Amino acid sequence: MSRFTVVWSRSAKARLAELWLDNPAIRREITEAADQIDRALAHAPEMIGMSVTSRSRLAVHPPLSVLFLMSENDRQVRVIYIKFWDD
């Protein structure tokens, strides 16, 4: 099975940077969670998180949660929103 290309929207990247800058005590955890989310989405996005709509899913990897869209035909996953998982 071929991998998916993971693309983060401009707003998701900006929000991730904001979360990282505003939370120096947990920067390592934020970085590790974002990296693990990225790897999981590249491998098997249909198995990650829970379905929100027919194309979107919500995945939680503390301290982060992400909303993403999956396109099986294009083999692409687009992260469109990110926040702290308990917000």
Q: Which domain holds residue 53?
A: 5-84
Assign 3-state DSSP to the chain and report helix, strand, coil percentages, each to 5: 40, 35, 25
pLDDT tens profile 39-64 = 999 999 989 999 999 889 999 999 99
* CATH for 54: 3.30.2310.20
Q: Is-cis flag, bond preceding 63, omega within 30?
A: yes
In which band, very low, low, confident or very high, does the pLDDT at 72 lie, cut at 50, 70 and 90? confident
Please list the residues that pair with 4 across neighbouring strands. Answer: none
pLDDT tens profile 19-46 = 999 999 999 999 999 999 999 999 999 8
pLDDT attached to residue 87: 65
Number of domains into which the chain is organized = 1
In which band, very low, low, confident or very high, does the pLDDT at 2 lie, cut at 50, 70 and 90? confident
